[in-house]
Amino acid sequence: MKREISKELEAKLKKNMTRLVIVVAIVVALVSVDVLLVSKLHVGPFLAIRTKVYDDGGTKEYYGLGYKVIKYHQEKGRRDIQVGFWNLSYSGSPTAISTLDLALELRNYPKKNYEKFYNQFLKVTGAIQKIDKKKKEITLRYSDEDGAYHLDVVCQMIDEDLDFDEYQKSEVVSILGTFTHFDNQEKIMNVTLENGFISSSE
Q: Which amino acid is at 130?
A: K
> Model confidence over 121-150: pLDDT tens digits?
999 999 999 999 999 999 999 998 887 889
pLDDT at 201 over 60: no
Query: What's the pTM?
Result: 0.80
What tens digit of pLDDT does each residue of 163-189 get?
A: 999 999 999 999 999 999 999 887 889
Q: How confident is the model at residue 40 (pLDDT cuts 50, 70, 90)?
A: confident
User: How far is CA 133 from each of CA 136, 139, 166, rounded to the nearest angstrom?
Assistant: 5, 11, 12
- What per-residue confidence (pLDDT) applies to 38? 84
* pLDDT, tens digit, 9 for 90 and up, residues 1-11: 555 557 777 77
Each as own residue / partner, the long-range contacts of residues 39-44 (CB below 8 Å, 24 or more positions apart, any chain) are 39/81, 39/83, 42/81, 44/69
What pLDDT is stored for residue 16 in this prediction? 82
Q: Which domains does the chain have, with CATH numbers?
A: 2-84 (no CATH), 95-198 (2.40.50.140)
Q: Report pLDDT for 180.
A: 94
